[in-house]
């Protein structure tokens, strides 16, 4: 465990040394992101942090964000495709950069009219593209980044088995995965040992023993059994089950 912590810090340090102010930590407010954030801030307390929120995040996530911000005394740049800042974030004076929601609203209206379903049901990939991928691309340009740190691990599920520590997203964008070889157990061991903030959804245990093990948008996240993969609860019962929102999809893999 100590070796993995040291290695992850070395990866973060090398990334910051190489990219200077053109690299940032991506934070989703889930368990892996919190470990990544904690390690990165140990390496460089001034490292920039950015986050992508959606209108479908659970209220517990909106409530959790201010707690983490206060805990670490950080000032993340939060991007969100929406018409208004969620009241909880507004109440806590958390600044959010709102991005135009016109394309999403048009797609949502079309979905309702033609299928009778929300877009996240009829076409979850399109929903993710409009709410998350577009926001990520805007954030990269807005912050003038050439690289970013991700909490991705290759033990989370099938779509991440072949991920590498350094990934070229494009000729001008690199994604770095310092926690790549960590296991779910090691993530929780680090969180417990270091008393990191824990999103309340992880504390829920359902009557049949299922738990939330991978945190996403509320309608697209369900609890899973311990014998399942962590991400099996994402986009359950859709063609996108246990898949990716698109932010971590490599160009050679497709959606």
Strand partners, 221: 234
Burial of residue 250 (CB within 10 Å: 0-12, 13-18, 19+) is middle
DSSP readout, 21-53?
Answer: GGEEEE--SSHHHHHHHHHHHHH-TT--EEEEE
Q: How far apart are CA 190 and CA 192, in angstroms?
A: 5
Residues 6+ apart with CB under 8 A from 220: 56, 120, 124, 234, 235, 236
Contact in structure between 118 and 219 (CB atoms under 8 Å):
yes
- What is the CA 10 to chain-centroid distance, rounded? 22
Cα–Cα separations (whole angstroms), residue 10 to 1, 4, 14, 17: 14, 10, 6, 10
Q: Which two tokens stand for residue 17?
A: 């040394």
Q: In what order do the strands lie in the sheet with 23-26?
A: 96-99, 77-81, 49-53, 23-26, 147-149, 173-176, 166-170
Tell me, yes or no, if 245 is annotated catalytic: yes
Which of 27, 127, 217, 245 does the annotation list as catalytic? Answer: 245
Indicate which residues carry an active-site annotation. 245
């Amino acid at each position: 465990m100590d070796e993995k912590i040291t290695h992850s810090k070395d990866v973060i340090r090398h990334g910051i040394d190489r990219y200077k102010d053109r690299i940032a930590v991506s934070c989703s407010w889930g368990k892996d992101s919190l470990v990544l954030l904690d390690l990165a801030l140990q390496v460089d307390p001034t490292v920039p942090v950015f986050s992508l929120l959606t209108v479908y995040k659970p209220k517990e996530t909106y409530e959790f964000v201010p707690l983490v911000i206060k805990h670490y005394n950080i000032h993340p740049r939060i991007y969100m495709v929406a018409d208004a800042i969620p009241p909880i974030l507004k109440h806590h004076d958390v600044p959010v950069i709102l991005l135009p929601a016109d394309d999403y609203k048009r797609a949502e209206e079309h979905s309702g009219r033609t299928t009778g379903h929300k877009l996240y049901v009829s076409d979850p990939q399109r929903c993710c593209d409009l709410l998350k991928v577009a926001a990520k691309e805007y954030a990269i340009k807005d912050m003038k980044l050439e690289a970013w740190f991700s909490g991705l691990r290759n033990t989370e599920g099938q779509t991440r088995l072949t991920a590498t520590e350094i990934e070229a997203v494009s000729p001008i964008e690199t994604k770095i995965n310092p926690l790549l070889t960590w296991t779910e157990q090691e993530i929780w061991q680090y969180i417990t040992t270091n008393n990191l903030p824990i999103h309340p959804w992880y504390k829920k245990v359902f009557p049949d023993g299922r738990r939330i093990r991978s945190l996403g948008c509320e309608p697209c996240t369900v609890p899973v059994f311990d014998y399942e993969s962590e991400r099996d609860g994402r986009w359950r019962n859709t063609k996108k089950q246990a898949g990716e929102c698109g932010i971590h999809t490599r160009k050679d893999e497709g959606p």
